[in-house]
Structures are given as structure tokens and as C-alpha cells.
Structure 1
Amino acid sequence: SAIASIETTRENLPAVLRLVNEILREPSFPQSEFDQLKQETLTNIESRKSEPTSVAFTELSRYFNIYPKGHPNYSGTIEEEIADVKAVTLEDVKRFYKDFYGASNATLAIVGDFDEREISALTKELFADWKSPGGYTRIKSEYRAFAPINKSFETPDKANAVFVARLNVKIRDDSADYPALTLGNYMLGGGFLNSRLATRIRQKEGLSYGVGSSFNASSLDETGSFFANAIYAPENAEKLEAAFKDELAKLQKDGFTAEEVEAAKSGWLQSRQLSRAQDRELAGKLNSYLFLNRTIAWDADFEAKIKALAPEQVNAAMRKYITPDNITIIKAGDFAKAKEKMKTVQ
């Protein structure tokens, strides 16, 4: 997908839309700007080669990749990314734009102070006849289970290390267990400083500068994932991983308390309200809902399900889906130097 996002005033909105229309329908593609962007992109990729965050996330994506090279969703190596950028030409970009860009499958959401009738008419005037060259076919996401691995990658002379963990889950965001998994993850690592992972690893034991988790599920396909990450000093690698695994084991054994669940409901619901109060975030949500054929009523129903959750439902869902033995862990950092440093101290 391609997204255009603008922020302006009521009186300037019509002129801004006309400018967006001109840019989209009559792009100039100057060679000098293409060359500059290409060089900046290559410089950025090169700088990521030895960065722990980039190395860890690249290796994690590589392991979970199920697509062949050339597929839009393929996860390649950093070297492949560099080669692809070097190979692309301005003519390739122009050809791609000509073959794919148009408004036949476009959606538009506007939030704020504007004249709905005026802007609706103007939008039709500007974009109704901008037809896409070809038909649109959505690329479906495919669930696949992976055998867990636990690997470390050396990034010499880097002060920080990165820990990432992932588990694929066969679920969609309208599944019966999705509300319970959403709230469960909020308590485990999604609620930032109030989560179990943050309380244990960051605040109590001081092992990480930042730690958290996330859980997501597709709105269209039965595929989702649990993800966790932490930034830490390399010498804390073993302790951090042990604490992470211990918290998952406690979750499996004891679950969350009724008090935790009620507090989490309040915090999670408040975060949703704050998000909707931001025009940019609300516009993005409404725009995605146009594609999904949903309205904001979907949110109201989802939040009602969260409010109605009992601790037993949350614990049962977390035990069913977040299975510690199936989680893949990738670490990147200067662990060799950390080991030598610890030997010296001993």
C-alpha cells in the first residue's frame, strides 16, 4: 500500500488536496533527487550492518520468512537489501508507478474541522477518474508454526545488546480468544512500566534499559504473533533471558490475579481513549476500517469484551497460545567482550 498523510487548516484543506492530486498524478521524478535518496538509503543500510537492533531483527525476520526471493513479503539479508537498492534505476521507479498507481482502490479519511459536502465533492472531482492500471489482489498472510531456536550473534564494540523473541499464533482479531490475549499481553509486557516484564527485568533487577512485549493478529487472515524485546548490557544476557523465561513460567503456573486484571482493564481502556483523541491516529484507524469494511462500532464491541473478561478467561487464553517452549529467541551484542570483562572481574 501507499499512504499520503497531510495536516492542515480548514481554509487550506481544498488547496492542499489539489496539491496532493498534482503530486500524485503528475510526479516529476528528478534524477538528482533519486540519486540522493538512493545514496542516503545505502548509507543508512550500511550503518545498520553491525547494529545489534538491526542484526537481531533481521535474523528474526529471516528465520520466520516463508516467501521466496522476489516476493513482496520476502525477508532478505542486509547484503541482499544493499544489492537491491544498488540495482534499482529511475526508469524502474517510473515503470512501477505507471503500472500500479491509481485511485481505483483508494480510501480517504479526514478528521477535524472541514466542510464535508465541499470536500466530498472536491475529492470526486480530483480523483474519481484516476483509474488504477491493473486490478488489485490482496496478498494473504499465511500462518506457519516454526520449531523454536535460540541463537546469539556477535556485534563487536557495541555497548548495548538486543534480545528479541517471537511466537507465531494461529488467530484472527475477531476470534473469541483475541480480547483475552490482548489484555494478557498488556499485563505481561504491553503496559510498559506497569507490566510484569518491566517490573521484574527493568525496575526490580535493573537488567534492561527497556523491555516489553506485543501481541497482534490479522483482521483478515488467521495469523498473529507474540513478540518481546529488550535492550540491555551484554554482560546481563544470561540473567535477562532467565528472568524472561521465569516470568513466562509463572504465567503458565499461576496466571494473573483478579486485581491485576481489573487494573489492566482500566489502564488499557484509558490508553484507547487517549489514542482516539489524537486526530492523526483516529484518521489512520478510520482509513484502515474503510478497507476492512468496519466502523468505530467494532472498537466499542471489542472494548465491551475486554471489560467483561474474567481472570480465568485471560489465564486460559495465555496458557493456550503463549507456550514458552515454542518461543524463538535471538540475541545480538558484543558478548565475547562481555565474557572477557567478567573473567577479569572474577
Structure 2
Amino acid sequence: MSLVLPRAAWPVADRNMWDALHKKAAPFDDPGALAHLRQTSSKTLEARYARWMKWLETTDPNALLSPPAQRATLARLQRWLDALAHTAPMTRLMFVDGVLRTLRAADPDQDWTMPQRLLAGLKRAAGRGDPARKQGQILSSEVLLKAGLTHATANADAAPSQLKRMICQRDGVMIALLALLPIRRRSFCELELGQSIHVTDGEILISLSEDMTKTSVSWEAAVPPQIATLVRFYIAEVRPTLLARGRKAHNILWVGKRGEIMTQDYIGLRIGNVTLKLTGKRIPPHFSAMPPRQHWHGCRQKVRD
């Protein structure tokens, strides 16, 4: 049974509320209170609200007859938390925060004092999340850099076929690049030649626009010299060969064995599997440690207003 209620199945009041919150600015109208959210953020918020809606439909269907904001009573929110007791504190915080963020935006004049106090208590309980989840999984950037370089060179040279050699080179470059320039997974997967990655004779520049960063501030950095040669080789030799195998033509940087665009989930799985093999620990892309200061020698980082 699904844990979320699809938006198409929400009551009309909720669907209208959601559409109004996300309405883009028109020439003579103001935008909705949540219209500024990127699509990924909006989808995440929708999933959390849909979880709330499913719980209401299952356990308290009469509540759906009330206006959306009026349903979020302290007693009802506490019962929902009881139903979520099997989840981690951070998960419960994210669910309640998503619902309250949506409803506060829809009805800012309602008294949200008690739900906000509940949310504050959830934040204290969640703290910094579950440290056990990451304990033992965070490696220094030196270890990840060495593993990536080794995989892209020695391991690639020992590969039994040209395809396996190119896959080693690609995966090693990805790991080494993330070790020195930790980039959120979505942005890393969407790197595009000529758009967010620029290759010149003097440098390789990664330039992320506002919609590619979590803070909505553009970001720019040169690929560090430790890995610049390998990145150039991947772009000039490995990537075109993989594209040719599948007769593909696109500018996304990371490609599969037949030139297909690699999805976020696949890249995360691939990096996790390779780091497990190389280091004994599965390191997803977002667990990459921040690089030591010396790794930034020769690397320009620029934030534009």
C-alpha cells in the first residue's frame, strides 16, 4: 500500500492551495508564496505533504472536510508523530516541517505557535541527524583522491578489455574529482560541456548557475591540477569513444558504456560500489569529505553576486 496520497486524489481545497502557492508571477499578479522553489525542492515538499494526506485519509478522513490549515492541530500532529514512531527523528522532523511549511505559507495569519513549538522539539530531538549512519563511511579526501587516481590509471591499465579500461578511467575520474571538489549529486550528474564545464588550453572550469546550487548562488572553480590531465583525457578520448559505441550525441559529461546519460541513482550506486571495492567502505557522492586546504592550490573558487 502506498504511503502517500497522489496530488490528483487530494481534496479540491488542497489542490487549489497547492496551485496557488506555486503560481508563477503574472504581469499584474504576485507569485505564489512557494513559486521560488526549484522543481526538485517542490517535489520533495509535495511528497511530505502527500504523506500527511495519506495518513489523514486512512486514520481521520473527516479531517479532510476541513480547510487544509485548520487540520494541523497540535493533537492531530502528535498522533501523526506516534504513527511515525518507527522512523528516525530526522525523518519525523522533515515530514512535519514540510507540512507546516506548506500550511504556514497558505495561511500565514493562523496562529502557528503550538505547532512551531512542536517543530522546535523535533529539531532538538533530531540534532544533527543519525551520526551512526555516516560513522565509518567518511574518508579523508586524500584517501578518496588516491583511490580515484589509482583506479583511473593502474587499475585501468590492468583491465582485460578496452571497455573495462574506459569504465575504470571514467569512474576513477569521478571519484577523484569529487574528492577535490565536493559537488552535490544533482549538479555533478548534470555537468554539461559548454554550459557548466568549460575546457580551454589553460584550465578546465566548472561553473554552476544559481539553479544548480543548494544555496541558489552561482559557483565557479577550476579543476585542480592533480586531476586536470585525467579529466582532459576522459573528455577528449574516453567520452567520445563511449558515445560512439551507442551512436549518441549530447553534451552531458558523464556517460554510460553505450554513451547514455547516467542518472543520479546510477552514478550514486556506481560510486558507492567502486569506493567499496577500492577502500573497503561504500562512499556515496554526498559523503565525500571536504578537501584539505592544500588541495585547493591552483584552484580558483568564485562566487558571483
- TM-score bracket for the superposition, by shorter chain length: under 0.3
Query: Greater strand share, 1 or 2?
Result: 1
* TM-score normalized by the length of structure 2: 0.28
* TM-score normalized by the length of structure 1: 0.25
Q: 1 or 2 for the larger relative contact order (CA 8 Å, sep ≥6)?
A: 1
